[in-house]
Structure 1
């Protein structure tokens, strides 16, 4: 039985802790805040409840597998999973809109043809076929296996089979997601639908590789799910599974140093406490913080891709308490698209002193009695991706951005201004306090191609006995990716460096 110290109680850390405990190890989790879940938090006021992190779940199979591998009670015995239908409603700048059914290609094609004109659905359906090919080529190396030692193969080869595009005398293939939208979908509204999947993860469609096509494909193929009571209930279920497996949690314990002995990680030193010796250390923390915990180089020359600690995107969130019940047929998720998307992309890339433009806004309206005081009220969450390094400590910038989100939400929620009881603003600084991520930055999922700029550091490090888990390590950000990182780290510790992932 090995002693394992885990730094942080995020979803990836807890997924690893539960699996390691089942394998017979003694696992202690040290969390700097007073609760678990990382970015998966909940805010409550006056009988209203809100998810302040992720609001929906894709690839629930990742957490089903976690519960199968760590105990007898399956995931569905601990939480109620609800398939969201429609998967999403999109409101476009020209006033048009479309609601996309969940996980049905024929239904999506028909909905797009009806809303956007004949041929739109077929072009989107053909795109999904190509996106599936990219998914099939990258699923194992990007989700189910430790990062390949020759990761350059993933960085250099574009897995998305782009359609040849003739322009003047040249034939080109789309290299970015924006080019896929412009050249293959050939409709500004379809392109907006596609690009919103990149923006939701803080990616600029102009620089995100064409392989980002896997992001909408994941939703299409595996569905979009909600956890009754809010996604925080998923975090609670994983935490309770850890307790059942006798994982120990120490809250309010900020680790200040990773102890090294004989050239390997040998424990952790919490602030104000004695050194806790360990045979392995698992860190679910932002890269800048991890570097501050040890002087040992964690990556060799040529192993470091673009520094995820420099991630530029965060989330700006507004929580709404509304009087009155939602209108019949209200969509759980509505994406409101701006008239000038490139202004939004420019702002994300170089905020400077520019006036914030209208962003792409996601409106979540869960029809869930657990999140409202009674059936005569409604809770809603507005969110947009923003540059983490903008002036979020300036009250005028926060007020301006809040107003932009409310303006957009007014196109999704009838009578919003009249129904609004109060709103709570969560600028990126709130996420920084909760997760420790610099400026509240949010990690994106790992993607192939793009010269490796969209890959994340490997779960193992150059310091023997130290492992990285969670969104800032392979395979990147997002609830399913965090869960997979936990499985990968547990496999590396239990089976050793020869571990090659799930079969």
Structure 2
């Protein structure tokens, strides 16, 4: 039985702790704040409740596996999972609207043909077939296995089978997500639908590789899910599973240093000077963690965006048939991308806004009120002003007529709030790992150059997002329990 110190209590760290504890190790988690969950938090006031981090769960199989492997109670016995249908309603710049069924290719094709015109659905359906091929080629190395030592193979090889495109007597293939939209989808609304998935992950579709096609594919293939009571309930369930497996938690404990001797991690030092001995240490990686020696050759991520979130308490009931999620696409996509990813990043004047309307009785004081969350991608470290908040509300009014007249109060969550909760500089939010692009979208390996030190969470392989953070826990636990020969779940 090894002594294991886990730094931080985000979802990746909790998943690691639960798996190691059930393997018989003595695990202690040291969290600098007073609660668990990392970015998966809840804000409550006057009987209203809001998720302040992720609002939906893709690929729930990751957490189903975690609960199967760590106890007798399955995930569904601990939280209530609800499949969101439609998966999303989209409001495009020209006023066109479409609601896309959850996990139904035929339904999506039909809905797009009806809303955007004949042929639109077929082009999107054909794109999903190619996106599936990219997913099949990268699923194991980018989600289910430790990062390959020869990771350059992933960096240099584009897994998306782009369609040949003739331009100026030359035949070319799309190398970026924006080129996929322009050359293969051939409709600005379909392109906006595609690029919106990259933007939601803080990626510039003009630079994101074509392999980013796996992002909409994951949503299409595995559906989008909501946890009744909010995503904070998932964090609670994972935390309680850790407690049931006798993981010790020390809150308000900031780790300032990983201790080492003779090339091996030997414990951690807390802000008050207390030293905790350990046989293994699990730390956050990259931007969210302590400097980690020898994280591998993958270059550190730079210049990642954050999120601006506006929580709205509304008078009046949620109308019957309201979509859980609506994406209001900007009318100035180039301006939005230049603001976010230009030389001097700035908050877009006209952002793409996601509107979440859960319709969950647990989040409102009674049936005559509604809790609505608005979200947009903004630069990390951005100073949020009133005009930025108003831009989100103005965009949301395209999806929620009469919105302003229903507002009782609002709460604004900025990049500074994310930074305080996660420790990531400027409140940066990590994207999932993607192939190609020279390795720019890979994350450092879970193993480090210091023996006995591992990294878990969104800033380590396989990257950001709830499923990926959960998988980082499985990978780190496998590496500690089985050793460097561990190659992932079979």
- Same fold, TM-score > 0.5, yes or no: yes
Which residue number in structure 1 is paired with residue 414 of structure 2? 427
Q: Is the 8 A contact 1:432 1:438 kept in 2?
A: yes
* Structure 2 Cα separation of the partners of residues 196 and 353 of structure 1: 18
Higher mean displacement: 90-99 or 354-363: 354-363
Q: Is the 8 A contact 2:79 2:227 kept in 1?
A: yes
Q: Is the 8 A contact 1:285 1:470 kept in 2?
A: yes
Which residue number in structure 2 is paired with residue 357 of structure 1? 349
> For residues 493 and 456 of structure 1, do their structure 2 counterparts lie closer, same or farther at Cα, with a shift above 3 Å needed?
same
- Cα distance, 1:352 vs structure 2: 3.0
Q: Where does 1:151-170 land on structure 2 (aligned, <5 Å)?
A: 151-170=151-170
Name the SS for the 1:214 alignment partner: helix
> For residues 3 and 354 of structure 1, do their structure 2 counterparts lie closer, same or farther at Cα, with a shift above 3 Å needed?
closer
1:18 counterpart = 2:11: no
Q: Is the 8 A contact 1:286 1:436 kept in 2?
A: no
Q: Where does 1:96-495 land on structure 2 (aligned, <5 Å)?
A: 96-284=96-284, 286-287=286-287, 289-291=289-291, 297-299=293-295, 303-308=296-301, 310-350=302-342, 352=344, 356-390=348-382, 392=383, 397-495=384-482
Q: Once superposed, what is the RMSD of the aligned Cα atoms?
A: 1.1
> For residues 165 and 353 of structure 1, do their structure 2 counterparts lie closer, same or farther at Cα, with a shift above 3 Å needed?
closer
* Structure 2 Cα separation of the partners of residues 495 and 381 of structure 1: 43
Q: Where does 1:57-72 land on structure 2 (aligned, <5 Å)?
A: 57-72=57-72
Deviations 1:447-497 (A, max 9, x none): 000000000000000000000100000000000000000000000000000
Deviations 1:287-334 (A, max 9, x none): 36411xx6xx323xxx433312x2420000100000001122110000
* Structure 1 Cα separation of the partners of residues 347 and 88 of structure 2: 29
Q: Is the 8 A contact 2:40 2:52 kept in 1?
A: yes
> For residues 468 and 354 of structure 1, do their structure 2 counterparts lie closer, same or farther at Cα, with a shift above 3 Å needed?
closer
Q: Is the 8 A contact 1:351 1:387 kept in 2?
A: no
Q: Where does 1:87-98 land on structure 2 (aligned, <5 Å)?
A: 87-98=87-98
Name the SS for the 1:139 alignment partner: helix
Aligned pairs, number = 490
Name the SS for the 1:322 alignment partner: strand
* Structure 1 Cα separation of the partners of residues 37 and 345 of structure 2: 34
* Structure 1 Cα separation of the partners of residues 54 and 277 of structure 2: 34
Name the SS for the 2:146 alignment partner: coil
TM-score calculated relative to the size of structure 1: 0.96
1:39 counterpart = 2:39: yes
Name the SS for the 1:468 alignment partner: strand
Which residue number in structure 2 is paired with residue 3 of structure 1? 3
- Cα distance, 1:355 vs structure 2: 7.2
* Structure 2 Cα separation of the partners of residues 252 and 143 of structure 1: 32
TM-score calculated relative to the size of structure 2: 0.98
Gaps in structure 2 of 5+ consecutive residues? none
Gaps in structure 1 of 5+ consecutive residues? none
Name the SS for the 2:385 alignment partner: helix
